[in-house]
Structure 1
């Protein structure tokens, strides 16, 4: 008997089909598998340890320590005003593949808090270049920023002010939101074409509050611009603020501070953070950003153990 005839005439066709309402439909299963844990190349280099700047060396350490994935800090592979060549990028991709590591994140810097359109256009071009680098590496998500006003003397000064910076004279945050939103609207078609989800980080500038991040993400309202959530960048009321962004998060960067922090130390409750993320339905990658003074080759394995237990 032909399958179509059997379905039309057999006993299965005679059975009534139950109607599922919101009350009777089964609830979606909650995530049960552990989150995969990756490590940022920043954890090794930290802008200061030249012996741990080489990406293949960092990949070797990450694999030896037992990580599932690896996030590349773009500034670690690109000299000032230069674009890393494709041959180098493909070598990194091959190296990670042979080690069994996912290249799962690309962490970039850009800034749009300037009234100068030419400066913003240069940052748009830089961000598009980075998207294309992520695509060449096979990386599905990329950390992006709003940028800062540049009215602090340096990063140490910005940290001394708890990340809160005064706007340029004659301008306001309202101007800044317009510049950032306009810039990302120009960038997003390239992200969509390359299949790279941008994650706006709570990273100073307009990202110093969850409301600032959400205003940009919600206004643009695109599946290609979501949130990279950094556990170490809300210096007050971190759990309440992390909760506000959890549902939009595509990658969570987790800070640890073994040996004491370089700029500050936060006592973060990672089982509590893991529950916040699980309640929000987050099943993606957790990326370690070690930011302490201890030797990273001893502190990073301890950090991995802490995160494995919390996100299990």
Structure 2
């Protein structure tokens, strides 16, 4: 081969290699930019909270259809949740018939932990019902109620939960109720602090659904492990005699705003939906904006209590509404 032809061929080959290298670099850069865009898009679409399921959402399945409460973790996993909010009364009569004995509680803990682990779920909290009145005026009864709740603090700790939810039932006199609530909560939270468990109060009827009084109690207790669990829909202070219809209703938006500064969990209540998938009585965007404005980034629990949709459909509708509303908050 002549020298001139050799140089020309060599130059062409070098140019080809150079062009291939340039193309490869551009493609790599393009792929990197696309991956970054996908990551950014995922971050934008991801809500500011985590999703948990309140077991009360399937109470009809358990009580009326005979569904095993220990399938809770499996169902929640299949419906796209990552956290579990247990309800103590849904394990009766198994627990109540045994008088919440050490053996019965241990079995509940072991079974629940095994199911949560099997399905890769996180135990978030336990909602406690039927264990007495923490805000009752009789000090002896109030102290007995505190003692009854201690076994649930122990259970929450053994299950890796961060909290138990309690009710502040008791006196109907606002000043008495506040004093009783502070006493009962302080005693229980003092015990729970040793176990690294939070004691949370939900607006759950009576004076606990008065956001201003409820927040005043939190301020008076003033303990790091005592807080609130604001529920979007439980703001009925008094019901009509002999009826479930509400007679005295507290402003739900005012209430959530008052309770959020002390919140360590949040409950997204739902009953019914319109054609666009919005809750008919609760503005979820407005609620979530208040939640986000406080800097809350923990679990929000879906709690469907409606009757028009079956429980599975209602749970899914509430979850979708939460995710849709989350994209509209700023």
TM category, shorter: 0.7 to 0.9
Give the Å deviation of 1:35. 0.8
Map 1:28-47 to 2 at 5 A.
34-46=48-60
- Kept in 1, the 8 Å contact 2:273–2:280? The answer is no
Moved more, 106-115 or 177-186: 106-115
Of residues 143, 146, 152, the one that matches 1:130 is 152
Q: How has the CA–CA distance of structure 1 residues 126 and 118 changed in structure 2, closer, same or farther, with 3 Å as cutoff?
A: same
TM-score where L is the length of structure 2:
0.72
1:282 alignment partner in structure 2: 296
Question: What is the SS of the residue equivalent to 2:230?
Answer: strand
Give the whole-Å Cα distance in 1 for the aligned partners of 2:196 and 2:67. Answer: 28
1:302 alignment partner in structure 2: 317
Q: How has the CA–CA distance of structure 1 residues 62 and 48 changed in structure 2, closer, same or farther, with 3 Å as cutoff?
A: closer
Question: What is the SS of the residue equivalent to 2:223?
Answer: coil
Give the Å deviation of 1:274. 0.9
CA RMSD of aligned residues (A): 2.2
Give the Å deviation of 1:89. 1.0
Question: What is the SS of the residue equivalent to 1:34?
Answer: coil
Give the Å deviation of 1:112. 2.8
Moved more, 109-118 or 86-95: 109-118
Q: How has the CA–CA distance of structure 1 residues 232 and 87 changed in structure 2, closer, same or farther, with 3 Å as cutoff?
A: same
Question: What is the SS of the residue equivalent to 1:57?
Answer: helix
Give the whole-Å Cα distance in 2 for the aligned partners of 1:111 and 1:266. Answer: 33
Give the structure with the higher percent helix: 2
1:142 alignment partner in structure 2: 164
Provide Cα deviations, 1:195-215, integer angstroms capped at 9, x if missing partner. Answer: 111111112233121111112
Q: How has the CA–CA distance of structure 1 residues 254 and 104 changed in structure 2, closer, same or farther, with 3 Å as cutoff?
A: same
2:68 alignment partner in structure 1: 54
1:190 alignment partner in structure 2: 191
2:263 alignment partner in structure 1: 249
TM-score where L is the length of structure 1:
0.76
Question: What is the SS of the residue equivalent to 1:49?
Answer: helix
Q: How has the CA–CA distance of structure 1 residues 192 and 203 changed in structure 2, closer, same or farther, with 3 Å as cutoff?
A: same
Give the Å deviation of 1:240. 2.2
Give the whole-Å Cα distance in 1 for the aligned partners of 2:60 and 2:126. Answer: 15
Map 1:60-79 to 2 at 5 A.
60-79=74-93
Give the whole-Å Cα distance in 1 for the aligned partners of 2:272 and 2:125. Answer: 23
Question: What is the SS of the residue equivalent to 1:199?
Answer: strand
Map 1:1-312 to 2 at 5 A.
34-46=48-60, 49-51=63-65, 53-79=67-93, 80=96, 81-83=99-101, 84-109=104-129, 110-149=132-171, 167=172, 172-234=173-235, 235-258=249-272, 267-293=281-307, 294-312=309-327
Give the whole-Å Cα distance in 1 for the aligned partners of 2:280 and 2:168. Answer: 23
Q: How has the CA–CA distance of structure 1 residues 140 and 200 changed in structure 2, closer, same or farther, with 3 Å as cutoff?
A: same
- Kept in 2, the 8 Å contact 1:202–1:228? The answer is yes
Question: What is the SS of the residue equivalent to 2:264?
Answer: strand
Question: What is the SS of the residue equivalent to 2:85?
Answer: strand
Structure 2: stretches of 5+ with no match in the other structure: 1-45, 236-248
- Kept in 2, the 8 Å contact 1:251–1:285? The answer is yes
Give the Å deviation of 1:231. 0.6
Moved over 6 A (4+): none
Give the Å deviation of 1:148. 4.1
- Kept in 2, the 8 Å contact 1:37–1:308? The answer is no
Give the whole-Å Cα distance in 2 for the aligned partners of 1:53 and 1:145. Answer: 26
Moved more, 129-138 or 79-88: 79-88
Provide Cα deviations, 1:246-276, integer angstroms capped at 9, x if missing partner. Answer: 121110011111379xxxx961111111111
Give the whole-Å Cα distance in 2 for the aligned partners of 1:213 and 1:46. Answer: 30
Q: How has the CA–CA distance of structure 1 residues 37 and 173 changed in structure 2, closer, same or farther, with 3 Å as cutoff?
A: same
Give the whole-Å Cα distance in 2 for the aligned partners of 1:177 and 1:184. Answer: 10
